[in-house]
Structure 1
Amino acid sequence: MPVNFEKYETYSINYKSLYNFLKVQPILYYKQNTKKYLKKWIKVLKFLDYKTTKKFKKDNSNFIKDANNNLKYETFLQTFTFNNNIKILINYRIDLIEDFLTKYNLLNNWNEIDIDLFKTNESIISWTLVESLTQQPIQKKPIYLAKFNDGIKKWILIDGNFRISHIINSRQKTIKAYLLTENFMLRNNIFLSKFDKYLYAFINEMQTFQELWKIKHVPDKKLIKNSFLFKNEFISQI
């Protein structure tokens, strides 16, 4: 039972159903290798799920809240669903990103993104339209797009949904954005728990492996050897 930090409560994942759904997906070339690979990953996720939940229940009052019961960090909650019925959540720590961009002298390394990318259902960006907009001033800082490859989308907007919702129908043509790679997110632990971190790596890695064996014919053995589970590094190219 991992943690939904937005609602500050635990939720359940049916790992058996998750495995049964994923084992028939072409993650690796050989089905037997896919099953072995998934069993290793799910074993780790279940362990981290247990550790995170145990810590949350033991220290619920100040796990990520201050004395006034407010969240200590700026966060973003991503909801992702497998097979239309297996819901998982990834909790991100947004407040860490600017710190690391500053640390690595990357504050000027933003890109100009076409607003039209947010206007179509075929967009490679996953984002959420905010229906009830306030009249507060719109922030001028770049939005944060994190790499998230689920086979349909390639990026997820983890900070900037209000800004995009405000300007989506305006005359503004572009917006500044930081493009945050898998390794930026993973190396800098831009997550509220280790479970969230590994879940993020798992989802991205499955789709990346599928693309690498289908397009570049990378053998299963080489892919598994380079898994985040063993390298603690995300391999997008081999």
Structure 2
Amino acid sequence: MTTKQKIKIDIFSDINCPWCYVGERRLNKALQQVGEQYEAEINFKAFELNPNIPQDGMGRLDYFKGNYGEQVVSQVPAMDQRMTEAGAEEGIKFNFSDSMTVNNTFNGHRLIWLAEQYGVQHEVASALFKAYFTENQNMNDLAVLKEIGVAQGLPTERLENFFESEEGKVEVRQMEAFAQSAGITGVPAFVINDQYLVTGAQPAESFLNVFKQIAPTIQKLDIEGNSCEVGGIC
């Protein structure tokens, strides 16, 4: 019986980031192909693209115009089309609209942090992506966040006063500080075995090549993929 090689993968991502949704699916696809060879330990780490956004969010077009000026509006349909096609290839249904809000995701990251304690972090993160991008739900609506948490296996009583407490706040900020110190400026970013960084939503084939190169030794790879930059459009 062969022993599986263990790979630790920390995914720095934001719920507001469509490439993070795509990147997570592509990583899963790669891991499914090598499931007999590798045992992956996956952890989602917090990264806020829009940390200063108001608690009630901003209209998507207003947000883009505020960062890039009126001229960006004409580019949004092509950007959405590209993103929708990329998502469809991974089984993701993106529903972009002018009425979408860009949410403050700090509380969503706290929920993902809590989910790790119950072994459902991956499920909660995936559910948040779907709720935002497919169902256009508000990712800072505490009732929505609680509902998603319970649906993915978090105890109802554990969530009762969770968001009103201080729990998870320090931990989320520490994760974000680590990302900053590590030079991560966009997401998704995948830190493998605590010392090897892959940036962007790589195709599944790229992840497979990475796995081969880090076994048995770690090497620095210089590959770039699509990502969302801080305060930027995707």
Flag whether TM exceeds 0.5 (same fold): no
Larger relative CO (CA 8 A, sep 6+): 1 or 2? Answer: 2
- Which of the pair has more CA radius of gyration? 1
Greater fraction of residues in helix:
2
TM range (shorter): under 0.3
TM-score normalized with structure 1 length: 0.26
TM-score normalized with structure 2 length: 0.27
